[in-house]
């Protein structure tokens, strides 16, 4: 009997344009605990929030959206929009009112994706690829800790571009060699995830934790890898060829129920997937 696919395609949505509820030059995505999707649209200067099905819930205008390259949301619904090149992180209340601006290490001259996150206690995990480290900030912007990300076995300097917090761990993506490193919340490295069948791992574009698995997006050509949270690769999938039209960039985010979304900025669309509930 053929082994069932572990990922179910739920649907896709997105309308090109610069009006509220449309997507023209989106960056993100972020997902909250109940699966709502957040993007910043640089062309429209809007921060937008959608149901997982694509129904618009909130749009508000902000200059921060026009220069954004990353977005995140915390457990209370506050929205964080970041320009990594200048190191400016703008915080908004859940309904869009400005809250404060935080400063993180600027990433001038880098071209990797930039993915940061906030844990359930409000700590902010921010990658600093130029200095091979991760910054941990309080919700008010105070620097709590700095983690060094060590070189790989070949002594190639790390370029940590992503820091994704889960309930009891933080996963750090290394653009230098495609590694994903798992740390405790205190910054102690536990293990590392690396493609077992590639000497020069394809570019790691992003990853997300959804339910009991980690989903890594690599390209090009684009594919999704499913990993257990202890570092075992369980599946590689092109998602039915639905990612084949994406040629330059794509990013993903997941929620606690096991759903994840992939943003296709060129196509101004969001693809929604769900992990099978009977996966181990």
What are 208-221's pLDDT values in tens digits?
998 888 999 888 77
What CA–CA distance (Å, rounded) separates 160 from 143?
18
- Residue 174 confidence (pLDDT) above 60: yes
Rounded Cα distance, 63 and 81, in Å = 10
Average pLDDT over residues 94-122: 92
Of the pLDDT bands very low, low, confident and very high (cuts 50, 70, 90), residue 113 is: confident
Mean pLDDT throughout 105-117? 88
Domain ranges of the chain: 7-275
Domain 7-275 sits in which CATH superfamily? TolB, C-terminal domain (2.120.10.30)
**Taking CA 129 as the corner, what is the angle to CA 127 and CA 134, rounded to the nearest 5 degrees?**
35
Asked whether the predicted pLDDT for residue 279 surpasses 80, the reply is no
State mean pLDDT over 83-107. 95
For residue 100, what pLDDT is reported?
Answer: 95
Question: Cβ of 196: how many Cβ atoms within 10 Å?
Answer: 8
Lowest mean pLDDT among 48-57, 200-209, 226-235: 200-209
- Specify the pairing of strand 251-254 against strand 70-73: unpaired
- Per-residue pLDDT averaged across 164-186, rounded? 92
pLDDT reported for residue 240: 79
Confidence of residue 244 (pLDDT cuts 50, 70, 90): confident
Instruction: Show the tokens assigned to 274.
Output: 């769900």
Q: Which residues pair with 191 in a beta bridge?
A: 182
- Band (pLDDT 50/70/90 cuts) for residue 275 is confident
Question: Residue 155: which pLDDT band, with cuts at 50, 70 and 90?
Answer: confident
- Tell me what the mean pLDDT of segment 255-272 comes to: 90
Q: Distance between CA atoms of 180 and 59, rounded to whole angstroms?
A: 33
Q: What is the mean pLDDT of residues 214-236?
A: 88
Residue 1, pLDDT > 60, answer no
pLDDT score at 109: 77
Mean pLDDT for the stretch of residues 179-195: 89
pLDDT at residue number 197: 60
pLDDT tens digit sequence for 12-55: 999 999 999 999 999 999 999 899 999 999 999 999 999 999 99
- C-alpha neighbours within 13 Å on the C-beta side of residue 254: 25
Q: What is the pLDDT of residue 4?
A: 67
How distant is the alpha carbon of residue 224 from its chain centre?
Answer: 14
Tokens linked to 85: 């090149």
Distance CA 126, CA 150 (A): 16
pLDDT of residue 277 exceeding 70, the answer is no
């Amino acid at each position: 009997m053929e082994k069932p696919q572990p990922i179910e395609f739920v649907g896709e949505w997105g309308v090109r344009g610069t009006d509220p509820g449309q997507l023209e030059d989106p960056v993100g995505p972020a997902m909250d605990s109940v699966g709502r999707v957040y993007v910043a649209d640089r062309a429209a200067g809007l921060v937008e929030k959608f149901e997982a099905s694509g129904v618009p819930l909130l749009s508000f205008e902000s200059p921060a959206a026009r220069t954004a390259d990353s977005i995140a949301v915390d457990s209370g619904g506050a929205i964080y929009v970041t320009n990594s090149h200048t190191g400016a992180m703008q915080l908004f209340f859940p309904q869009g009112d400005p809250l404060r601006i935080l400063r993180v290490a600027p990433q001038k001259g880098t071209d990797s994706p930039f993915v940061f996150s906030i844990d359930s206690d409000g700590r902010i995990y921010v990658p600093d690829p130029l200095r091979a480290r991760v910054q941990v900030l309080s919700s008010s912007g105070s620097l709590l800790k700095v983690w060094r990300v060590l070189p790989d076995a070949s002594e190639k300097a790390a370029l940590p571009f992503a820091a994704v917090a889960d309930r009891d761990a933080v996963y750090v993506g290394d653009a230098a060699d495609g590694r994903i490193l798992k740390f405790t919340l205190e910054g102690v490295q536990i293990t590392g995830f690396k493609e077992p069948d590639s000497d020069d791992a394809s570019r790691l574009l992003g990853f997300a934790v959804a339910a009991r698995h980690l989903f890594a997006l690599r390209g090009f050509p684009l594919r999704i890898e499913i990993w257990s949270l202890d570092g075992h690769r369980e599946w590689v999938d092109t998602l039915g060829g639905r990612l084949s039209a994406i040629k330059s960039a794509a990013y993903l985010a997941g929620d606690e129920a096991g759903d994840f979304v992939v943003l296709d900025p060129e196509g101004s669309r969001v693809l929604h997937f769900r992990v099978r509930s009977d996966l181990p």
